[in-house]
Amino acid sequence: MKTALKLLVLLLVPALAGLLWLAWPDLREAPVEQSRAAPAGAAQIERGAYLARAGNCVACHTQAGQAPYAGGRPIGTPFGEVFSTNLTPDPETGLGSWTPGEFWRAMHHGRSRDGRLLYPAFPYTSYTRVSRQDSDAIFAYLQSLAPVQAPRREPALRFPYNTQFALRAWRALYFRPGEYRQDTQRTPEWNRGAYLVEGLGHCNACHTARNALGGIELDRNYGGGPIPSLGWEAPPLAPAGLMSDAQAAEMVELLQAGTSRHGVATGPMAEVVLHSLQHLQTTDLAAMVSYIRSLPPAAGAPAPRRPRVSEARRQELMRQGETVYREHCADCHGDRGQGRDYVYPALAGNRMLTGASAGNAIRSVLMGGYGPSTATHPQPHGMPSFAQRLTPEEIAAVLTYARGSWGNQATAVSPVEVERR
Ligand code: HEC
Ligand code: HEC
Ligand code: HEC
């Protein structure tokens, strides 16, 4: 009898603890109030439009060629695809019959109107920091859009990731709902920046490496890492060491214009500037940078495993690369990698070029690209694609050279890495 009781306790206690753990993120969820929105004023709608820009809602919630905010865009994850939803006020397929309380619950707790847990491809791990007042303003703005009928598309995720149980476990591990709390030791500017970066900006959705379960590990926060679904790597958000005032001013410039004296926003970052950051007030961007420059250095993703290049081979690639560089790159990027101010990015001291992995740089040379077209820089210059003009060996050589010259001290690039891209 006694042993049976013991056994029961032994089984029950972990089971109860497990259930408590799974329910943990939901314990702080207040019951959702059902009151309808008071009619929104023009000022609230305008503020909501601005905040929706800061959250870049339109980028994910718009399918190419379709009405803005009508959803249906596939968002890739390592576990399959999730589709964004219709945020227009269509009563059947959009948010038309939602209350502000239900909208807040989605933003703050990651829970849909019908109680379903939402997939964190919707970055509510960040949006949970948004204040109720700002959530209401975004809702008022979305309700002011023209309704579009666009039914929900079922996620296409592999088992077991498509279950509510898996979501529960994921949330218990990686989701802590909670509004942003002011740090009274810091300036109002810093707090505003922290609120935007940690909340609507969801910068760590890309600038922090994710683990095998797609969780953001906060001890690596802003340390940079690969974005598997996009095939790009995000650099660490704050450069290692102190950021000078000049560097901070240049970062504001980059976020606003997409092009700065020495740099260009490319790939996924170009889209963030295009749809979101260029529309923000300079004071808000400066606040974001004042927060970013205060971030402690964080360990990035574990260094990717890359083919080893012997020292003799590296020397050979350096020599070959110098020739390729003079012939194909120096006209734009300068004979010492200095670039041309506001036109061609500098390669000397370029963090995107000199990261632990050479993935972004290989991608740039193979595919070419453009910075975003912004109000400040409507016609950014382009980088030609070299996929047809240079062999993998030549690309590896020129990148080995650029990563190892003019003060850059990054490792060599092997032709095998270029071929794998
Ligand atoms: C990185 C892409 C991404 C961004 C940015 C994004 N969303 Fe979403 N959102 C999604 C996806 C994907 C879903 C569907 C999740 C699911 O099906 O579980 C979703 C779902 C939602 C839902 C739940 C709808 C429902 O029917 O349950 C709301 C509300 C929402 N998003 C609002 C917003 C707002 C407001 C913003 C901007 C502040 C925003 N989203 C930005 C990807 C995004
Ligand atoms: C969709 C993914 C994504 C999001 C979201 C994102 N970034 Fe980026 N970011 C990148 C990638 C990829 C790069 C590297 C390409 C480049 O340098 O343009 C980058 C580069 C940058 C750079 C340039 C770094 C350097 O040294 O050249 C800055 C600054 C930056 N991001 C700031 C931000 C801020 C601030 C936010 C939040 C408002 C943000 N990013 C959100 C993907 C993202
Ligand atoms: C016609 C001018 C031009 C030539 C030639 C050129 N580039 Fe570029 N390059 C650019 C521009 C403009 C950008 C910024 C646009 C972008 O990254 O999408 C850029 C971006 C880059 C980047 C990404 C840097 C960053 O911060 O985003 C790398 C790496 C690069 N170039 C390397 C090279 C190499 C190596 C060569 C020679 C094989 C080369 N480029 C030839 C104009 C050029």
Q: Reply yes or no on whether the pLDDT at 413 is more than 90.
A: yes
Q: Where are the alpha helices (H) located in 216-367, listed in sequence order?
A: 245-257, 267-275, 282-292, 311-328, 330-333, 359-367
Query: Is 262 annotated in some ligand binding site?
Result: no
Q: Reply yes or no on whether the pLDDT at 351 is more than 70.
A: yes
| Residues, the chain | 421
Our answer on whether the CB atom of 87 is closer than 6 Å to any ligand 1 atom is yes
Which residue's CA is the nearest one to ligand 2's atom 9? 269
How many Å lie between the centroid of ligand 1 and the Cα of residue 319?
50
Our answer on whether the CB atom of 380 is closer than 6 Å to any ligand 2 atom is no
Q: Reply yes or no on whether the pLDDT at 153 is more than 80.
A: yes
Q: What is the pLDDT of residue 12?
A: 78
On whether the CB atoms of residues 51 and 195 are closer than 8 A, the answer is: no
339 Ramachandran zone, left/alpha/beta (phi>0; psi -120 to 50)? left
Mean pLDDT score of the chain: 93
Q: What is the pLDDT of residue 302?
A: 72
**What are the DSSP E strand ranges found in 191-244?**
225-227, 232-234
Residues above pLDDT 90, as percent of the chain: 77
Q: Which of 60, 75, 260, 269 to mutate to test the pocket of ligand 2 (most atoms within 8 A of CB)?
A: 269
The set of residues, in sequence order, having a beta carbon less than 8 Å from that of 286 and lying 6+ positions away, is: 189, 193, 252
Q: Reply yes or no on whether the pLDDT at 40 is more than 70.
A: yes
More confident residue, 214 or 2: 214
Query: Is 329 annotated in some ligand binding site?
Result: yes
Q: What is the pLDDT of residue 412?
A: 97
Which residue's CA is the nearest one to ligand 2's atom 24? 235
Two tokens at 12? 């029950």
**In order of start, what are the domains of the chain with their CATH numbers?**
20-174 (no CATH), 188-292 (no CATH), 311-420 (1.10.760.10)
Which ligand sits closest to the CA of 233?
Answer: 2
Other Cβ atoms within 10 Å of 169 Cβ, number:
16
Calpha distance 392→410 (Å, rounded): 19
On whether the CB atoms of residues 409 and 318 are closer than 8 A, the answer is: no
* Residue keyed to tokens 């990261």: 355
How many Å lie between the centroid of ligand 3 and the Cα of residue 421?
17
- Name the residue among 202, 199, 201 with its Cα closest to residue 179: 199
Query: Is 57 annotated in some ligand binding site?
Result: yes
Our answer on whether the CB atom of 55 is closer than 6 Å to any ligand 1 atom is yes
How many Å lie between the centroid of ligand 3 and the Cα of residue 310?
27
Q: How confident is the model at residue 416 (pLDDT cuts 50, 70, 90)?
A: very high
281 Ramachandran zone, left/alpha/beta (phi>0; psi -120 to 50)? beta
Measured between alpha carbons, how far is residue 228 from residues 32, 172, 214, 231 in Å? Answer: 36, 23, 10, 5
Which ligand sits closest to the CA of 367?
Answer: 3
Q: What is the pLDDT of residue 31?
A: 78
Q: Which atom of ligand 1 is nearest to the CA of 142?
A: 35
CA angle 5, 10, 14 (to 5 degrees): 140
Highest mean pLDDT among 155-164, 196-205, 351-360: 196-205
* Residue keyed to tokens 């379709």: 66
Query: What's the alpha-carbon Rg for the chain, to the nearest Å?
Result: 24
Other Cβ atoms within 10 Å of 420 Cβ, number:
11
Q: What is the pLDDT of residue 1?
A: 61
Which residue's CA is the nearest one to ligand 3's atom 7? 383
Pocket of ligand 3 (CB under 6 A): 263-264, 266, 328-329, 331-333, 344-345, 350, 352-353, 361, 364-365, 369-371, 381-384, 386, 398, 402
Which residue's CA is the nearest one to ligand 3's atom 5? 329
* Per-residue pLDDT tens over the stretch 175-185: 999 999 999 99
Per-residue pLDDT, averaged over 9-15, amounts to 76
Query: Is 328 annotated in some ligand binding site?
Result: no
Our answer on whether the CB atom of 106 is closer than 6 Å to any ligand 1 atom is yes
How many Å lie between the centroid of ligand 2 and the Cα of residue 293?
14
**What are the DSSP E strand ranges found in 67-218?**
74-77, 80-83, 156-157
More confident residue, 17 or 307: 307
Residues above pLDDT 70, as percent of the chain: 99
* Per-residue pLDDT tens over the stretch 215-273: 988 788 999 988 878 889 999 998 777 899 999 999 999 999 999 999 999 999 999 99
CA angle 367, 369, 370 (to 5 degrees): 175
Q: Reply yes or no on whether the pLDDT at 303 is more than 90.
A: no
Which residue's CA is the nearest one to ligand 1's atom 14? 84
